[in-house]
Structure 1
Amino acid sequence: MLMPVEVKRSLLVGGVWRGAATGMAIDNPFTGEVIDRVACATPADAADAVASAVRGQRALAALSAAARAAILHCAADALAARSARFAAMITAETGKTITASAKEAARAVNTLRLSAEEAGRLTGETVAFDSFAGGEARSGYYVHEPVGVIAAITPFNDPLNLACHKLGPAIAAGNAVVLKPADQAPLTAIMLAELLLEAGLPAEALNLLTGHGRDFGDALVAAEDVAMVSFTGGERVGAQIAHAAGIKRIGMELGANSPVIVAASADLARAADACVSGAFWAAGQNCIGVQRIFIQRTAYAAFRDLFVARTAKLVVGDPMAAETDIGPMISERDAQRLLDWTAEAVAAGAHVLAGGRRDGALLHPTVLEAVPADARLACQEAFGPVVSLFPYDDLDAAIAAANAGDYAIHAAIFTESVREAHHAARMLQAAGVMINDSTDYRLDAMPFGGAKRGNMGREGVRFAIREMSQTKVVCFNHG
């Protein structure tokens, strides 16, 4: 919704916060009230931000690795001290429960600290030029250098930690960033940008653009001085970015339809607890959240009953209340989308075991069985609190069903059999396989990204730093 001219000065360009001719409201998904109004950037703002980032990158690259690490440590300290404020803002603009928001803030502190620690570890090594005839008189080495300016585009579901996963590694490696936070949740990113500037980041090394990505996104990613685009979000927007960006580095994480296999040998109570948490944490708006569970037929009824019983105990409501397990989805429209998908599956023969209703943007945790394999709930990313259960007889058949789909990040298996665990780890087509854990487990230091069509680079601090760097070889001819 377009608002009057008087809006928050939310565009950080050239080290200065500025406004725009138009703005948009940021709503609280639970109450529907307007939290704030932010400026809507234009292509001209994007061009100014990129030009500023070019200057900022030179200033940042001139700093030593120790100086960049000190900035990140200072930012981490400040974030830890203000974590309650950040958690409250995350909850206000996304509807994530305050418990989950506090956990996100703690993870973001760790992400910045990891980035600081890795700043001094981005080292090269010597090259044995004399390993091939003609190189006997040569010696040398290679080093890692920043790629330059990075356009970072982040989603609403983890507005703080996912921003840190782009900014922390970029700064550690000496890159400047133009950050475009999610349309629905830019306020947390604004707070983070303010914090980084306070920590001593060169003023133009971070630029931030709020507003509708459709208005200026193409201009941002297509800019010649942008060396890399780092995007977390959906396939449709990812395809548009790739088309507009042209020839440059692109790192993308495009979502998934995460499968879990539960073998009859598994601790079913443990598996049910982990899968309930993995499916409904953050109202299921999680790219590695549990969406499909394949249960060995001899254990199916027992697991189903445990899973449904635990789901029924979840408290749905005000995300600011400490006892709430599930808050609203990001909008009523998204909640209704999943209700429509559920109705489609039911019309095709599925049965609702729990949930299947909404109150505004609150979608009650929904569990289904007998979902057809071609239903959208089974073959597309739901990105909400909806889970489908499927029985299986043969492990390889379960693995084949789990591997269906074009995009994958994590898969999981619960089993007490080492043979089954190793077999699943080899055969599951995913970038990560969790054994006796939910698909939504992630350590911020581990490599993270997509598999199959979604395989476009890796995040996880050390791995993201490598993606945001390029090698330079230095060779001496002593002949």
Structure 2
Amino acid sequence: MTDITPFWLAGEPTFGEGSLDVHSPYSGDLVGRVSLATSEQIEQAIAAADAVQAELLGLPAHVRAKALDHISARIAERAEEFAALITAENGKPLMWSKGEVSRAVSTFRWAAEEARRWSGELQRLDTDPNATGRLGITRRFPRGPVLGIAPFNFPLNLVAHKVAPAIAVGTPVLIKPASATPLTALLLAEIVAETELPKASLSVLPIRGGQMDAVNTDSRLPVISLTGSDEVGDRIRQAAPQKQVILELGGDAAVMVEPDWPDLKAAAERIALFGNYQAGQSCISVQRVLVHTDVYDAFVPLLTEAVQALRTGDPNDPATQVGPMIDEQNAQRITEWIAEATRAGATLHTGGGRQGTQVEPALLSEVPASTSLGSKEAFAPVMTVIRYSDLDEGFRIVNGSRYGLQAGIFTTKVDVAFRAHRELVVGGVIVGDVPSFRADQMPYGGWKASGTGREGVASAMVDLTDERILVLTGLAL
């Protein structure tokens, strides 16, 4: 019988009532069994976070930074274990799991560095006569304990982006991991428990869906940080309008290919890979490929060939580039969307077949906007190709989406890059590459239905805190 993995309640491994089975999306094999928290234990975790606020905030910066450095180092030491676990419960190929672990190492390292320089600002107030001798010191303080709700697609690094900034600013955090992928977050909690932080600094609780409404609205958790769907984000925002709600939501990321780009084959290969990495289950995987009419006829065959060349299959094979989707329900959904698009007149250039949770990477063109694939986030290994005639039309198409997370543009022209930065209504514009690029220290987040607030350690630290000014009087400035 498979052992049951405990959750972490206020820094202690704990068992609740009932359990959750975690299965491999690829093989269906049982990966692990996780204990579920009771309502009473959830209350204990929230109360503990509330009670430990002052102690955690009072820790010197070097203590918080040391803890973050320790977490970063221990993830690096156990990198193979983390990568294997991510692949087992998430299904992403090992090559991507290893990359996620490396990013988590960096995320906690960045947080340690930010914790050391989290100092505030000085402001002279004697610019007016009535403030002679006065100096303002503005510092940021935590709004209160954080509820972090994590998705399945990056079960380590997106948990890290909630835990690391919270520790850096000195506030406790309660993590609700995705039901499909709780094991990685629980392993991370084990490492956090090794530090000298107060035990109640972190709880990681697998929670039944029906219990979340009460958690979301609990006033002792004044900050909610969700990475997930825009539907869930809307529900949380409506249920807790008085809270600081940070939402990293969906996207149908677009990339533009301008005629000045010198290597169309390399661009096609890059787009093909990052339209299908994580089986397309990334908010910034390429979904819409906009190609200038001058290079469209040359580019589409190159992109088709690059998609066909991707290695699919067993995620434990180091050569596999595209693994399974998270479950069969979503795999079936996307094949139905592809069928709907082709019935409506779209051209299927390649892919679209399905075997269980494995979906063959698909590329379509002339997809009507009235179809699901033409109007919604696919979150699957599928891309659509769109022809545009000039920048005005291209930018108009990119901005025509209800989402606005990141966009990419393959161009060598600096003026085009700056115009894209000004006119594309997205949180980030990536020049010379796909929109899927993300460095973990950079501000990351969306406009429109793609969310509010920013990740990236320093940016998240701002979102978790608020300003408080101290005015000193009678100084010889």
Q: Which bracket does the TM-score occupy, shorter chain normalised?
A: over 0.9
Provide the secondary structure at the position in 2 that maps to 1:374: coil
Mean Cα displacement is larger for which, 36-45 or 441-450?
Answer: 36-45
Q: Which amino acid aligns with 1:312?
A: Q
Q: Which amino acid aligns with 2:228?
A: G
1:401-434 deviation line (CA, Å, top 9, x unaligned):
1111222110111123333333222211111111
Matched residues in 2 for 1:260 and 1:33: separation?
Answer: 37
Provide the secondary structure at the position in 1 that maps to 2:254: strand
Structure 1 residue 305 and structure 2 residue 319: aligned?
no
Structure 1 residue 347 and structure 2 residue 347: aligned?
no
Q: Which amino acid aligns with 2:101?
A: A
Provide the secondary structure at the position in 2 that maps to 1:201: coil
Shift of 1:7: 7.1
Partner of 1:327: 323
1:237-257 deviation line (CA, Å, top 9, x unaligned):
111211222311111111111
Shift of 1:477: 3.5
1:221-250 deviation line (CA, Å, top 9, x unaligned):
211111200000001111121122231111
Matched residues in 2 for 1:243 and 1:23: separation?
Answer: 30
C-alpha contact 1:83 1:102 (8 A) present in aligned 2? yes
Provide the secondary structure at the position in 1 that maps to 2:408: strand
Matched residues in 1 for 2:53 and 2:5: separation?
Answer: 23
Determine which of 42, 45, 49 is the counterpart of 1:46: 42
Structure 1 residue 215 and structure 2 residue 210: aligned?
yes
C-alpha contact 1:154 1:180 (8 A) present in aligned 2? yes
Structure 1 residue 198 and structure 2 residue 194: aligned?
yes
Structure 2: gaps (5+ residues)? none
C-alpha contact 1:43 1:220 (8 A) present in aligned 2? no
C-alpha contact 2:138 2:469 (8 A) present in aligned 1? yes
Partner of 1:236: 231
Partner of 1:121: 117
Structure 1: gaps (5+ residues)? none
Shift of 1:128: 2.1
Q: Which amino acid aligns with 2:465?
A: S
Partner of 1:383: 379
Matched residues in 2 for 1:329 and 1:9: separation?
Answer: 24
Q: Which amino acid aligns with 1:359?
A: Q
Structure 1 residue 131 and structure 2 residue 127: aligned?
yes
Determine which of 285, 292, 306 is the counterpart of 1:296: 292
Please report the TM-score for the alignment, with normalisation by the length of structure 2: 0.96
Matched residues in 2 for 1:409 and 1:333: separation?
Answer: 25
Shift of 1:9: 4.8
> What aligned pairs does 1:18-417 form with structure 2 within 5 A after superposition?
18-212=14-208, 214-266=209-261, 267-417=263-413
C-alpha contact 1:56 1:206 (8 A) present in aligned 2? no
Mean Cα displacement is larger for which, 314-323 or 260-269?
Answer: 260-269
Shift of 1:55: 2.5
Q: Which amino acid aligns with 1:418?
A: V
Matched residues in 2 for 1:137 and 1:344: separation?
Answer: 71
Matched residues in 2 for 1:154 and 1:293: separation?
Answer: 28
C-alpha contact 2:337 2:372 (8 A) present in aligned 1? yes
Provide the secondary structure at the position in 2 that maps to 1:51: helix
1:6-25 deviation line (CA, Å, top 9, x unaligned):
97353322332222222221
Shift of 1:435: 0.8
Matched residues in 1 for 2:241 and 2:419: separation?
Answer: 40
Matched residues in 1 for 2:36 and 2:303: separation?
Answer: 44
Shift of 1:137: 4.4
- Percent of residue pairs identical: 37
Please report the TM-score for the alignment, with normalisation by the length of structure 1: 0.96
1:57-89 deviation line (CA, Å, top 9, x unaligned):
333212111110000101111110100000000
Structure 1 residue 427 and structure 2 residue 423: aligned?
yes
Provide the secondary structure at the position in 1 that maps to 2:222: strand
Provide the secondary structure at the position in 2 that maps to 1:438: coil
